[in-house]
Structures are given as structure tokens and as C-alpha cells.
Amino acid sequence: MPFDLSSRLAERRAAHLYRQRPLLESPQGVRVVVDGQPLLAFCNNDYLGLASHPAVIEAFAEGARQWGVGGGASHLVVGHSSPHHALEEALAEFTGRPRALLLSSGYMANLGTVTALVGQGDTVLEDRLNHASLLDAGLLSGARFSRYLHNDIESLGSRLAKAEGNTLVVTDGVFSMDGDLAELPALCAKAREHGAWVMVDDAHGFGCLGRNGGGIVEHFGLNVDQVPVLIGTLGKAFGTAGAFVAGSEELIESLIQFARPYIYTTSQPPAVACATLRSLQLLQGEHWRRERLAQLIAQFRLGVSALGLNLMDSPTPIQPILVGSSERALGLSAALRRRGILVTAIRPPTVPRGTARLRVTLSALHSEDDVNQLLEALQQALRELPEGE
């Protein structure tokens, strides 16, 4: 029997690493129905509350009426339609870069970009806590691949000194499971010393960071020379779907020529681009959503430290509570759920061994009262499951 799947599954279960998919029976939001149970949710990435915004829904519906449903072909054949093109122009303007390229998902944007830029004889250096799609992309590229210590510029520097060929330094902007920010100004300076390019995947920064929601590069005031390759995803704060790469004319033309996950796939439904054009306006213009998030983040951090819990160093809506063992993280998540609150336990291999956590995420649609409810439920869950048990 070459494929012994049942013992593989049993092992995963025994290690408290078995994954199950909660069934969402309502639209995405802060109040959801999951597996038949109404819950107050603190775990989606819809940070600004745009996924179910009436104006975004209307733009999507109108887009479908005008453009139909399917993209119908790849971009290079005849699937590149006016809404896709208009969204690319809007995203280029939003990011202050000469051009942007729209792709169907962040995973594909990362895979396509890294593999188009580096290959055999080149070097790709990644933060060890980078998103799985970036790590996969680095491995698949065929370039020499090395991971430096998290946000450690010295560790990066020693690898840069040994790098060969074209060298790409790749980092999350906001780290997806920790919520902290890449030390971009120092990282970009170090990369420049060695003639390397920097690629930032700011999936969780766009919409949340920067005065206009321009993400980590707006937050730090970095331009296209310092960060030549900028990735954003549209399924998080934008509330829709897809991803983009923003950069120079030559970068985007190179991706159109060489990025296989861009070339060999059907374009996203044009109506999704119509919806994103609308959500981009809301994301940029409605500053109150970022202000509300800042208030909720401050309230949550104050409350959690009063409970003596281990918060991570995060200024973003990703506010994980470090727990340690997978078993205890699952226990706390279940105890919260019995109290009507949904928070996901994140376990290895998504995070390093021994660092299982409750990944709390906040949304501009949460109220102060919602956060109080979460804090109260956390306090009760801790009493039920004291440390060390």
C-alpha cells in the first residue's frame, strides 16, 4: 500500500494539528452564522468592513449586468477587459507608481513575480516568517534560496554579502500571523548597499496603514526606487478578490511576458474589478474606518494586558495572543466559541512550533462593546483553562 493516507491523517489528529473548515452560513462580517451558530467574529481579514458594503455589492451586480460573469479567456488572449484595465490604472495612481498589474490571487501574484524575476544563478532572501506563498515562490524559482531571521537586518546583511546573481529580498509588509511591521527603511538601505531589489507583499497593510490606506510604503514614505516591487491583495481590506503588483513600466511589461501564473490563467470576472474600483474609493476616502480601527486596537491591547496575556508587538488589526501549545490554543478557542465568540487558533506549520496562538483580528465594523464582550469571554475562558493544564 504506497499511499497510507489514513495513518497520516490519524497522526495529524493526534498532534492537535487536524484542520477543519467552519461552514459560514451568512455573509462575511463581524456577526456571522457558523455551523448553525450565531457568533461575534474576530477572525476574518475584512479589516475595513467592505466585503459586504452595499455600494461594493451594487458595483459588483451592475458589473455583472454590463460585462457578464466569466472573464472568458486569459489576459493575453481576449480576457483583458475595460474594468480590469481601469482598475490597473486606478491602482497605479493609488500606489503612486507608473503601472500596476491585476492578478487573480495573492498567491499567484507572489508565485508569478518571484519566478519571473529570479532563477538559476540568482539569489532570493526571505524573512523566515514570510507568508507561505512567498516561501513557495522562492523555492519554485530555482534561485539560491535562504531565509534570514525575522526582521533581523544583520542576518539579512550576512546573506547579502554572499549572494550571487540578481538578488531579490522578499518580505511581508505586515506579518500575517504576528501583525508586526517589516523594518523597511533599514531593510531597503541594506539591500541597496548590495545592489539587491526589495519586494514587499503588503497584503495586510493596504487599507490599514498610511493616511490614505496606502499601506506600509505610505506609512514609511518609501518610493519605487526603494521598493521596486510592491504587492497588494484585494481579498483583505479591499473586501473583494484578486491581487496586484505595482512598479515600473519595465517591471510590469516583464511580468506580462514572463509570469506564468499571470499568463496561463483565465482573467478574474470583470465584475470583481468593478467592485474593487468602488471599494478602492471607500478605502482611500473613508478615513473614519482607519480611525475606528486605531481606537479598537488601543482598547483591545489595554484590556488584554490587564488580563496578563501575552500580546504580540503589533500596531495593526492583527492582534494575536501567544498561547504556546496547539492543544491549549484549541481549548481557548473552543471556550470562546461556547460564549458566542469566534477566534481561530493558528497552529504549526502555519506558525513556528511552540507558538500556537489565538489570531484575533479587528474590523472597523466592531464596536467598543464588541471588544468588551471579547475581553470578558477571554477572562472566563482563562478561568476555565488555567495556564499549565
Ligand X SMILES: *Cc1c(COP(=O)(O)O)cnc(C)c1O
Looking at the Cβ atoms of 274 and 378, the one nearer to ligand X is 274
Q: Select from 88, 126, 201, 218 the one that contacts ligand X (CB under 6 A).
A: 201
Q: Which residues of 210-235 are buried (b: 16+ CB within 10 A; e: fewer)?
A: beebbbbbbbbebebebbbbbbbbbb
Known binding residue 344? Answer is no
264 is in an annotated binding site: no
Stretch that binds ligand X, among 103-111, 141-149, 188-196, 345-353 (CB under 6 A): 103-111
Binding map of ligand X across residues 221-260, x = CB under 6 A, - = no contact: ------------x-x-------x-----------------
The candidate with the shortest Cα–Cα distance to 199, out of 238, 157, 247, 249, is 247
Q: Is residue 107 a known part of a binding site?
A: yes
Close Cβ partners of 320 (under 8 Å, ≥ 6 residues apart): 177, 178, 179, 311, 312, 314, 346, 357, 358, 359, 360
**Of 133, 176, 267, 326, which is the active-site residue?**
176
**Is 236 annotated in the active site?**
yes
- Residue count at the site for ligand X (CB under 6 A)? 14
Q: Which is nearer to ligand X, 215 or 228 (CB)?
A: 215
| Residue matched to cell numbers 491581487 | 243
105 is a site residue for ligand X (CB under 6 A): yes
Count Cβ atoms below 10 Å from residue 253 Cβ, excluding itself: 12
Least distance (Å) between residue 358 CB and ligand X: 17
Helix ranges (H only) for the chain are 5-14, 54-67, 82-95, 106-117, 132-141, 153-161, 184-193, 215-220, 249-258, 260-263, 270-285, 287-306, 326-338, 368-384
User: 240, 232 in Cβ contact below 8 A?
Assistant: no
Asked if 155 and 129 count as a contact pair (C-beta separation under 8 A), the reply is no
Separation CA 320–CA 109 (nearest Å): 26
Closest contact distance (angstroms) between CB of 317 and ligand X is: 13
Q: Which of 53, 75, 99, 204 binds ligand X (CB under 6 A)?
A: 204
Q: Check binding of 214 to ligand X (CB under 6 A).
A: no
Q: What sign does the dihedral 342-343-348-353 (CA atoms) show?
A: negative
Q: CB 176 → ligand X: shortest distance, Å?
A: 4
Of 201 and 370, which CB lies nearer to ligand X in the complex structure?
A: 201
Rounded-to-integer distance, Cα 262 and Cα 267, Å: 9
User: Is 194 annotated as a binding-site member?
Assistant: no
Residues 260-299 that bind ligand X (CB under 6 A): none
- Amino acid code (one letter) for 289: R
Strand partners, 123: 144, 167
Annotation-wise, does 106 bind a ligand? yes
C-alpha angle 26/297/366, rounded to 5°? Answer: 25
C-alpha cell read off for 192: 541597496
Interface positions, 115-174, toward ligand X (CB under 6 A): 131, 133, 172
- CB 379 → ligand X: shortest distance, Å? 30
Is the bond preceding residue 349 a cis peptide, omega within 30 degrees?
Answer: yes
Stretch that binds ligand X, among 2-10, 104-112, 216-224, 340-348 (CB under 6 A): 104-112
Residue 201 CB, shortest distance to ligand X, in Å, is 5
Q: Please identify the residue of the shown chain whose CB is closest to the bound ligand X.
A: 106
Least distance (Å) from ligand X to the CB of residue 247?
17
Name which of 254 and 350 has its Cβ closer to ligand X.
350
Q: Which residues, including other chains, have CB under 8 Å from residue 92's CB and lie 6 or more apart? A: 98, 99, 100, 246
DSSP-derived 3-state class of residue 256: helix
Among 51, 203, 216, 318, binds ligand X (CB under 6 A): 203
Candidates 63-71, 197-205, 218-226, 323-331; binding stretch for ligand X (CB under 6 A)? 197-205
Give the nearer residue to ligand X in terms of CB position, either 172 or 178: 172
List contacts with ligand X (CB under 6 A): 105-107, 110, 131, 133, 172, 176, 201, 203-204, 233, 235, 243
* Residues of the binding site for substrate: 19, 131, 350
Active site residues: 176, 204, 236
* Residues of the binding site: 19, 106-107, 131, 176, 204, 233, 350
